[in-house]
Amino acid sequence: MLYDNALLARAYLHAWQVTREPAYKRIVEETLNFVEREMTNEKGGFYSSLDADSEGEEGKFYVWSLNEIRDELKDESGFFEAAYGIIADGNWEGKTILHRQMDDDALAARFKLNLEDISAKLIESHSKLLAARAMRIRPGTDDKVLTSWNGLMLAAFAEAARVLASSSPSASNYLNLAARSAEFSLSELRPNEKLRRSWRAGKTKKEVFLEDYAALILGLLELYQTDFNNKWFISAKELADELIERFSDPEGGFFDTPHDSEKLLVRPKEVQDNATPSGNSLACQALTKLAAYTDEGKYRDLADKSLQQITSFVMRYPLGFANWLSAAENVLGNMKQVAVLGEASDENFQQMLNVIHAEYRPGLVTAGSSFPIKEGSPALLENRGLVENKPTAYVCEGFVCKLPATEIKDLIDQLD
């Protein structure tokens, strides 16, 4: 499922920021590379899912026998078998689902290799098996493009692009994929400036739901924070205003269907987070972030009011409202806002961005621009200037800012 890959990629990305555990970063890269390879169409949209079965058998495309491993890897098979604990009987219905059993340190000790050699040998084996697997009959692909799931995947690629900018050669490609996804969503999924739920083979259905708007807004805001292209911020704000106009419930929160859709006996309003976050919790997050960018009270007030609809549930069933809890932390706490001015080509400007993005900072939004500030920029950048013509960062809360920072140490101190 596309949404599983999107949500897991970001979970591992955040875990890597917190722990710097190399395996978490590897999982992020492998997951995003998989989505690019297997679930992305030529226009930049992301497919919905891959089937579990092929040739009438569940998992056949993905599992291996011991003999197949040995045929493909030859002399390297023993090393790979140890790494993955592969046995003749397999670990699932007589076949093997590849799952690491021995870590790099244990492999290095057993085969008397250094850690760099371990990684290189595994990559080589994976490449051989991937090439062999490509010759099999593929599972079917659900090639619908759904707006909400694409918004979640857009956010994953965009955030990974900036967090991994200084440590992964794939980061620039992730930014390109995110930008293509955003362009696709704002054109193919928004014909005649009317957002739609789904697209397939150049055609859209007229339906659209709250989660489509909210997830796409959040994805666009993540992309804006990565490349500071005002187009994404402007589009996110336009969509947010449409969301408010079409989905608002006067009692607080939002309906799942727009007021101008087909009339139903009961207009649905789901608030519980499930396999994907609810449209209401996504909308609360989106409006909170827009309030931090614009200082417009309507966004903040609607986010505050939407939280009231879950207060009687969240303490009793917190795991059913996990995304709401993240939204609540930002609404009730003091979100940090960072405005950064400078030229993209300036090394100090890039160092400032690296510092901002290095740590996991879920309660922070960033706006950036060259000077003079570009038209259409968030209000957070208004009345900010360069100090001594150097790249300058302003760390703020509630639009009240600390002294402008031009030195990396000062910026780190203010962020922490």
Question: What is 274-286 written as a DSSP string?
Answer: -SS--HHHHHHHH
Domain boundaries, the chain: 145-332, 336-415
Burial of 255 (0-12, 13-18, 19+ CB in 10 A): buried
Other CB atoms within 10 Å distance of the CB of residue 141 = 14
Q: Establish whether the linkage from the previous residue to 362 is cis, with ω within 30° of 0.
A: no
Q: Which is higher by pLDDT, 116 or 10?
A: 10
Question: What's this model's pTM, rounded to 2 decimal places?
Answer: 0.94
Residue 64 has pLDDT above 90, yes or no: yes
Tokens at 280, concatenated: 């209401």
Other CB atoms within 10 Å distance of the CB of residue 203 = 10
- The mean pLDDT value of the chain amounts to 95
pLDDT 10s digits, 396-412 = 999 999 999 999 999 99
Tell me what pLDDT residue 333 has: 79
Tell me what pLDDT residue 265 has: 79
The sheet with strand 336-341 has its strands ordered as: 364-369, 336-341, 392-397, 400-401
pLDDT 10s digits, 288-345 = 999 999 999 999 999 999 999 898 888 899 999 999 999 999 988 779 999 999 999 9
Burial of 337 (0-12, 13-18, 19+ CB in 10 A): buried
Residue the block writes with tokens 């707006």 = 147
Q: How far is CA 294 from CA 291, 304, 339, in A?
A: 5, 16, 12
Residue 142 has pLDDT above 90, yes or no: yes
Other CB atoms within 10 Å distance of the CB of residue 150 = 29
Q: What is the DSSP string of 187-216?
A: HTTSGGG---SEEETTEE-S---HHHHHHH
- CATH of the domain spanning 145-332: 1.50.10.20
Q: Residue 396 and residue 160: Cα distance in Å, rounded? A: 24
Tokens at 250, concatenated: 């006067």
